[in-house]
Amino acid sequence: MFMANRRKDLMELGQALSLADLEQVRFIAHRLKGAAGSYGFAGIEELARALELAGESGDQPGAEQLVEAYRELVEALEVRFI
């Protein structure tokens, strides 16, 4: 469930960036930050915090770079249940 939601976040972030809707980017990043923190994914939480700030400040190029970094992180992430 966690990973399915993160892939959904990526789709939504891509759509928001294509529309230059940085308020939506901020909203998604805030949601992501909370989810990542709840599951103990500190790296994703930090990236989401930076993305949230990029959205707040209207930094489209910065947001695009952070979303790409997030995409790479999600693609490399493997969740294992013990």
Q: What are the structural domains, with CATH classification, of the chain?
A: 2-75 (1.20.120.160)
pLDDT tens per residue, range 52-72: 999 999 999 999 999 999 999
Whole-number Å distance between alpha carbons of 47 and 73: 10
Q: Is the pLDDT of residue 80 over 80?
A: no
Band (pLDDT 50/70/90 cuts) for residue 79 is low
CB 71 within 8 A of CB 10: yes
Q: Over the chain, what is the mean pLDDT?
A: 92
Q: Is the pLDDT of residue 82 over 80?
A: no
pTM for the full predicted model: 0.90
